[in-house]
A and B are shown apart, each in its own frame.
Chain A
Amino acid sequence: MKKEGKKKIWSEYQKEIADDHFFYVRSCIRQSFFPGSEQFFLNFMRNVLGKDVYENPSHTTCTGIGYHSDIVPFATLMTVVARHFALMKESGYKNIAISCVTSFGIYTEIIETWKHFPEELEKTREYLYKATGREFDIPENMAHTSDIIYKFRNEIAALAKNLLINKKTGEPLNIVEHIGCHYSKMFPKHGVGGAEFPNVLGGMIEAWGGKVVDYPERRHCCGFGFRQYLVQANRGYSLSNTAKKFSSMKPFKADLVLTNCPGCTMFMDKWQYTIKEMEGIVYGEEGESIPVLTYEELAGLVMGYNPWDLGVQYHMVQSEPLLRKLGIAYDPDNKFKTKDGRQMPVPENLINV
């Protein structure tokens, strides 16, 4: 593997990421399944870096999940997104920070559509005005929140309490990075590093001391597929694609899977349980499964936040093996307690415990 070749490609896909004054649009799935992620992002940006990250209470789902499931037509989608742009305009923001990769995908798709088909832009202006009386401008800068964490990865490295090194062996951790398809496969120039050798997560991993693992099915889709996954009878098709990725990465002995898309994180995490139940196969070492984290959760661990505050216990695959490797102390008793100390019911079928 020649690093210079990759560096050359990365240098050609340098996207402009805004520095401050972000209009934050949350992710439907990440809020529910990985609650600590968006909380970390806001905490880090506002309290650690002192940036201005604004959330508008009138913000809604982008309906991307509906669009990709053939429920929401494209015209509706454009209008919903235009409404978010109108909220941005009203609050005086020009930079948008997008939490979900599906959202990011539809925002870029819509803006590209408006570029090539100006009549669609005009139609959207008309629809939005008729429906809500709002007017909008196209944002100046569109970044995914993983782009922003990538941009500030060195600041995080400077504040790191736990670099991504196996405390027992002294070797960097082997980390598989998985980019959501809608991040860069549709419009490679909108992704850091392009589509074939993306660097948004790889850059974070290396800045924080870890080693990026390349494996044959790295580029393969996790299989989320929306309309495939949402219908139970089709779910096997989605599941099988994640299984394909995991069998391919198994020989590389990954310590962690890092993802930037809510669907992918959900899949890579939950399907390990399903495959274990169905076939009895696990993909980690010594009968363990591989923890799957979001980049915010990983950044939080690197910076020394309490793992339970980051919400890593709410993943299907428990992160204790990773925490032990990183040498991060954790209190098993506090794992499923509320913030004020009340005990919550402990989930069954936890993996890696």
Chain B
Amino acid sequence: MGNFGFTLIKERHIDFDANDKSIAEYISDREPSFRICIECGCCSATCTSGNFTPFSLRELQILLRRGENNKVKDEIRKCMLCGKCTLVCPRGVNTRNIVMLAREAFQKQEKYAV
């Protein structure tokens, strides 16, 4: 059939049940403090990378919990591992380790160097 001039748009909701949450589980099993994040944003506020890129650890860790892994896979590389986030976290989350574990999880999943 001919060109309608418009198309169907993909829905943008997070389909929680369909998403793969194994990356988050991988991190949570190895870094228990991953569970106690309250998403206050203190980490993202002080973040070195976040100054110049959309990198936000607060957002990325939520996306992992929701299984929106594709959005995190490349973004997580922007972390400079400076440790400023770990310094300021009020809950004492080991944020640097979470970044390292995320990278490790993706690497194991994809079997290529991240």
Contacts and interface: CB of A to CB of B under 8 A. Distances in A.
Do they bind each other? yes
B8 A233 contact: no
B6 interface: yes
Interface string B3-31: 01111110100000000000000000000
B1 interface: yes
Contact of B9 (A232, A240, A275): A240
Main secondary structure, interface of B, reads loop
A70 interface: no
A251 to B, nearest CB: 15
B6 A233 contact: yes
B5 A278 contact: no
Interface residues of A, number: 15
A32 to B, nearest CB: 21
Contacts of A236: 6-9
How many chain B residues sit at the interface, stated as a range, is under 10
B2 to A, nearest CB: 9
Nearest to A278: B8
A239 B1 contact: no
Nearest to B10: A240
Contacts of B7: 236, 278
B1 A240 contact: no
A244 B8 CA distance: 10
Given A240-B11, A244-B11, A233 B5 contact: yes
A72 B4 CA distance: 28
A243 B9 CA distance: 10
Contacts of B4: 235, 274, 277-278
B8 A239 contact: yes
A232 B5 CA distance: 7
A235 B4 CA distance: 10
Interface string A207-245: 000000000000000000000000011111101100110
Nearest to A234: B6
Interface string A231-274: 01111110110011000000000000000000000000000001
A279 interface: yes
A243 B8 CA distance: 8
Nearest to A276: B1
Interface of A: 232-237, 239-240, 243-244, 274-275, 277-279
21 contacts: A232-B5, A232-B6, A233-B5, A234-B6, A235-B4, A235-B6, A236-B7, A236-B8, A237-B9, A239-B6, A239-B8, A244-B11, A274-B4, A275-B8, A277-B1, A277-B4, A278-B1, A278-B4, A278-B7, A278-B8, A279-B8
